[in-house]
Amino acid sequence: MAFDTIEEGFEELEERFDLVRPPHGRDFSRQEIMEQIASATILCSVFDIPIDREIIDKAPNLKLIANYAVGFNNIDIEYCREKGIAVANTPESVIAPTAELALALLLSLSRRTAEWDRTLRTMGRDLKPSRLDRLGLDLLGKTIGIVGFGNIGRSVAVRCQAFGMKVLYYKRHRLSEEMERQLGVTYCDLDTLFETADVVSLHTPLNEDSRHLVDADRLARMKPSALLVNTARGAVVDENALVEALTSGKIAGAALDVYEDADKPNAALFRLDNVVMTPHVGTQTYDARLMMACELTNNVLGFVDGDRPVAYVVRPA
Ligand SMILES: NC(=O)C1=CN([C@@H]2O[C@H](COP(=O)(O)OP(=O)(O)OC[C@H]3O[C@@H](n4cnc5c(N)ncnc54)[C@H](O)[C@@H]3O)[C@@H](O)[C@H]2O)C=CC1
Ligand SMILES: O=C(O)C(=O)[C@H](O)COP(=O)(O)O
């Protein structure tokens, strides 16, 4: 699939609206948005540019913010409510790709594929591992604890069950026992989850309850053999505490797609071999990009025409 095919997802927007787009291959900067937004009624936003009061106040005609992401921690939701600005996101298209990346990272960490790749490239054909070098971890029979059991968390659960893992989950509002039975998952409180799981995978949005949900105390509760996977948002984890836990052997490893400081990894992480890292690429697939474009377009058209469901985070006033 080529990039042009992804563009098809935005075609109806191009046809219907006076669309102001950034140059091919990059996003508008914050400054550019501030300069161009004065007459806009609809803003299509991306997760890494905060849509805060300062930007919103520059757009007196703004009626809808259509986020090109499911996570909306980049948007001042309360201020949108106050101003009667609707907000929509793209929940459907990100589920499978993000769940797949969580599994890709977990497998890379548990089987040390990134380490082996680096070593093999360095040593070349001379590499002949001894039978006890860099032993990995089987997932079969292990327990995964999923924190935040929404669309992506559940999708990760199903994939882990296919690997023969037991699934514990935590979310703020427990599922019914019948639903837990159907899904084959067990609810437990956060501390028990961190103490019991062989793998902890994070899938909460970033909100006031989840900021630093994984702190020094929770990391200290984990088994020394346990692995942490974060494809949610960087600030769900206290990254300094994580570096300490990884360095001191409190936990065995971490697989990270997101980072606390504007998605830039703490420099210490680069020196740790028990860490696998990707640069926030949960939805970096052709399929996801096309679907996200279609979902965003659908939200905008549904808002304007009122003829189809829209994935609202904040409904129109
Ligand atoms: N790495 C990447 O590229 C991507 C990251 N994400 C992140 O994943 C997050 C989850 O996405 P979805 O599963 O689609 O969202 P969702 O809304 O379907 O599920 C979120 C779940 O977390 C629970 N939750 C909310 N606050 C919580 C808290 N403080 N403590 C514990 N549980 C809490 C909710 O009850 C719900 O079960 C997004 O908000 C986004 O930040 C999403 C897509 C791509
Ligand atoms: O959906 C979310 O939430 C995400 O984190 C995004 O999928 C990230 O998407 P891009 O901004 O990388 O397009």
Measured between alpha carbons, how far is 294 from 290 in angstroms, rounded to an integer?
6
**DSSP code string of 221-288:** HS-TT-EEEE-S-GGGB-HHHHHHHHHHTSSSEEEES--TBTTB--GGGGG-TTEEE-SS-TT-SHHH
Write down the pLDDT at residue 4: 58
Q: Is 110 in the pocket of ligand 1 (CB under 6 A)?
A: no
How far out from the chain centre does Cα 146 lie? Answer: 13
Q: How far is the CA of 180 from the centre of ligand 1 (A)?
A: 19
Measured between alpha carbons, how far is 102 from 153 in angstroms, rounded to an integer?
10
Q: What backbone torsions phi and psi does residue 64 show, to the nearest 5 degrees?
A: -145, 135
Write down the pLDDT at residue 7: 78
Q: How far is the CA of 9 from the centre of ligand 1 (A)?
A: 24
Cα three-residue angle 303-282-225, rounded to 5 degrees: 140
For 209, half-sphere exposure in the C-beta direction (CA atoms, 13 angstrom radius) is 7
Q: How far is the CA of 316 from the centre of ligand 2 (A)?
A: 23
Could you identify the residue written with the tokens 């006033």? 317
Q: Which atom from ligand 1 is nearest to the alpha carbon of 258?
A: 1
Could you identify the residue written with the tokens 């703004």? 62
Q: Is 232 in the pocket of ligand 1 (CB under 6 A)?
A: yes
Residue 253, Cβ neighbours under 10 Å: how many? 23
Q: Which of 196, 149, 197 is CA-nearest to residue 174?
A: 149
Measured between alpha carbons, how far is 156 from 199 in angstroms, rounded to an integer?
12
> In this structure, which amino acid lies at residue 4?
D
- End-to-end CA gap in the chain: 39
Identify the bridge partners of residue 42 per DSSP, sorted by sequence position: 64
How far out from the chain centre does Cα 185 lie? Answer: 22
The ipTM is: 0.99
Cβ atoms of residues 202 and 282 within 8 Å: no
Q: Which atom from ligand 2 is nearest to the alpha carbon of 281?
A: 12
**Residue ranges of domains in the chain, CATH in brackets:** 10-93+284-314 (3.40.50.720), 95-277 (3.40.50.720)
The dihedral sign for the CA sequence 226, 230, 234, 237: negative
Helix H, strand E, coil C: the string for 59-98 is CCCCCEEEECCCCCCCECHHHHHHHCCEEECCCCCCHHHH
pLDDT per residue rounded down to tens, the chain (317 residues):
345 556 788 889 989 999 998 888 888 999 999 999 999 999 999 998 999 999 999 999 999 999 999 999 999 999 999 999 999 999 999 999 999 999 999 999 999 999 999 999 999 999 999 999 999 999 999 999 999 999 999 999 999 999 999 999 999 999 999 999 999 999 999 999 999 999 999 999 999 999 999 999 999 999 999 999 999 999 999 999 999 999 999 999 999 999 999 999 999 999 999 999 999 999 999 999 999 999 999 999 999 999 999 999 999 99
Look up residue 82 and give its two tokens. Answer: 């106050």
Number of helices and strands in the chain (H, E): 13, 11
